[in-house]
Homo-oligomer: A and B are copies of this chain.
Amino acid sequence: MIGQESVCCPGLAAAPLDEDHAADLAKVFKALGDPVRLRLMSMIASRGEGGEVCVCELTPAFDLSQPTISHHLKLLRQAGLIDCERRGTWVYYWALPDVLEGIAAFLTTSRTAGVGA
């Protein structure tokens, strides 16, 4: 799992990243660095706050095998971007906005803080 404080705190341009933070951040960016995972993330996040998506809705949207989609979902989950729950036969995924917001703050902080005036 990805530590939350390491995602939100320093700011890209606030100061040079140390190796630990860089490695931590890179995992999230790497998780988003694949077109399939980006589309999966978008499809899940499009459901909004309490929204969920069934895997049976995600899989047919791609020209990929079901295990491949399952694999990408696992990587997104390991990055802390989504979570899932089994309900009966089906498994539902939803977005965890914290890490995503942390990344966005990390990027925007880069151009506003630290450098200042």
Contacts and interface: CB of A to CB of B under 8 A. Distances in A.
Given A26-B35, A32-B29, A39-B22, A13 B115 contact: no
B38 A16 contact: no
Contact of A19 (B30, B39, B48, B103): B39
Interface in A2-36: 12-17, 19, 22-23, 25-27, 29-36
A107 B107 CA distance: 10
Contacts of A117: 48-49
Interface residues of A, number: 45
A100 B95 contact: no
As for how many copies of this chain the complex holds, the number is 2
Nearest to A16: B43
A22 to B, nearest CB: 4
A17 B33 contact: no
Contacts of A23: 35
Nearest to A109: B104
A68 interface: no
A111 interface: yes
Contact of A38 (B25, B34, B42): B25
